[in-house]
Amino acid sequence: MNADTPEQKVVDILKQNRIDIAATLPCDRIKALLPLIARNIKTLPLTREENGAGICAGVYLGWGRPVMVIQSTGIGNMINALLSLNLTYRIPLPIITSWRGVYKESIEAQWQLGRRLPEILAASGIKFTIIESLKEIERLDEAIKESFNNSHPHVILMSPAIWEGSTCEIPEPMDICSRNIELVFSVTIKKPVLTRYEAIRTIVETIDEDEDIIVSNLGIPSKELFEIRDRELNFYMLGSMGLVSSIGLGLAINQKRHVYVIDGDGSLLMNPNALISIGEYPTTNLTIISIDNASYGSTGNQETCTQSLIDLELLAKASGINDTVKAHSQDDLSEALRRKAQFIHVIVKPVNAKCKEIPFSANEIKKRFMRALKE
């Protein structure tokens, strides 16, 4: 039933290109394509596209070959990631989009972004290919190769015309069963004694220096890590606020080494979708260390709501991450690190060390990191 359908052709092209992970978010026009991809290629359903850009970047850094398959509106949700992460670090990412807003589009909310997408992508310096009909499907293969060969993202705008008349099977909706949810959580947050710098030093002194990966958050945390101990297995974020844990997940999926992520409180709250993905795809080699100074430390210690409203450990638990722990001291933190807890919530004071700039370009950080992973 699926042979010779346009959807099968797309899957064949993905397989020919040795794609090993597809990060997806649905569009009505690709409701037959997505389940077919999921049956053939390891698929990570997303809750927001920007999070997918981070996960796919991690997969690529771990020497994998990811694609994204999304609705074209999702490009609007990920434009900063495409520029500050993919273009800046030269990380390839083929993005197959169901191009809405142009062909037989009755939903008015699709028009504004959909019609302007080619101009937006061109102005952003993001390579794109328009595929109007099934006859042009081979251009998908060319676009995927172009993305990996030139180490940049490539958006493929696929017209709904391609799928018209397809006989590709659309699965029945799943059966929803009853389920119990139970959470008993009670915790005391003590007045902080540690600084972020001390917490990062504890991480560096506890992990396996020769084997383990550290992915560190943008701004001062990366600079502090660089100053404490620069190593080739450190991946320093220079921007893309919120994506550090997503990148860590992508790496953990594609690597055997243990991945330690240094995240913040502000950054985690910008992309709680990362926690949902981590809860959904549990790995045994990923530890998220959320260093919570109750503020946006890198931009001048403006308060976040972790002091008054949200407990990040509870947020992690609510996202399906079971093995969580709170750390107030160096001893708490090193014990949690030694047992490789999935999520460590570290309570620290809002203090920034005075550190120099990291003297590497994004591309240098990426290249030496990827080289070190191969050793």
Ligand X SMILES: Cc1ncc(C[n+]2csc(CCOP(=O)(O)OP(=O)(O)O)c2C)c(N)n1
Tell me: does residue 265 bind ligand X (CB under 6 A): yes
Site for ligand X in 176-215 (CB under 6 A): 196
The two tokens of residue 282 are 């549990």
Tell me: does residue 273 bind ligand X (CB under 6 A): no
Site for ligand X in 213-242 (CB under 6 A): 217-221, 239, 241
Tell me: does residue 244 bind ligand X (CB under 6 A): no
- In the complex with ligand X, which residue's Cβ is closer, 43 or 80? 80
Burial call 251-288: b when 16+ CB within 10 Å, e when fewer = bbbbbebbbbbbbbbbbbbbbbbbbbbbbebebebbbb
- Least Cα distance to 46 among 63, 27, 60 occurs for 27
- Least Cα distance to 88 among 235, 290, 296, 225 occurs for 235
Tell me: does residue 246 bind ligand X (CB under 6 A): no
- In the complex with ligand X, which residue's Cβ is closer, 98 or 216? 216
By beta carbon distance, the residue nearest ligand X is 264
Query: Of these, 129, 246, 271, 298, which contacts ligand X (CB under 6 A)?
Result: 298
Q: Which window, 29-37, 144-152, 176-184, 292-300, contacts ligand X (CB under 6 A)?
A: 292-300
Site for ligand X in 69-128 (CB under 6 A): 80
Residue 344, SS3 per DSSP: strand
- In the complex with ligand X, which residue's Cβ is closer, 6 or 221? 221
- Least Cα distance to 259 among 211, 227, 331, 291 occurs for 211
Query: Of these, 114, 248, 266, 272, which contacts ligand X (CB under 6 A)?
Result: 266
- Please, what is the minimum distance in Å from the beta carbon of residue 242 to ligand X? 7
Q: Which stretches within the chain are classed as H helix?
A: 6-16, 33-40, 49-61, 73-77, 79-81, 88-89, 111-124, 138-150, 196-206, 220-228, 244-254, 265-270, 273-280, 312-318, 330-338, 362-374
- Please, what is the minimum distance in Å from the beta carbon of residue 42 to ligand X? 29
Number of other CB atoms surrounding residue 115 within 10 Å: 14
Alpha-carbon distance of 136 to 146, in angstroms, equals 16
Q: Is 107 left (phi over 0), alpha (psi -120 to 50) or beta?
A: beta
CA-CA-CA-CA torsion sign (121, 123, 124, 125): positive
- In the complex with ligand X, which residue's Cβ is closer, 41 or 220? 220
The number of residues that bind ligand X (CB under 6 A) is 20
Tell me: does residue 264 bind ligand X (CB under 6 A): yes
- In the complex with ligand X, which residue's Cβ is closer, 212 or 263? 263
- In the complex with ligand X, which residue's Cβ is closer, 254 or 267? 267
- In the complex with ligand X, which residue's Cβ is closer, 86 or 129? 86
Binding site residues, ligand X, CB under 6 A: 80, 196, 217-221, 239, 241, 264-267, 293, 295-299, 304
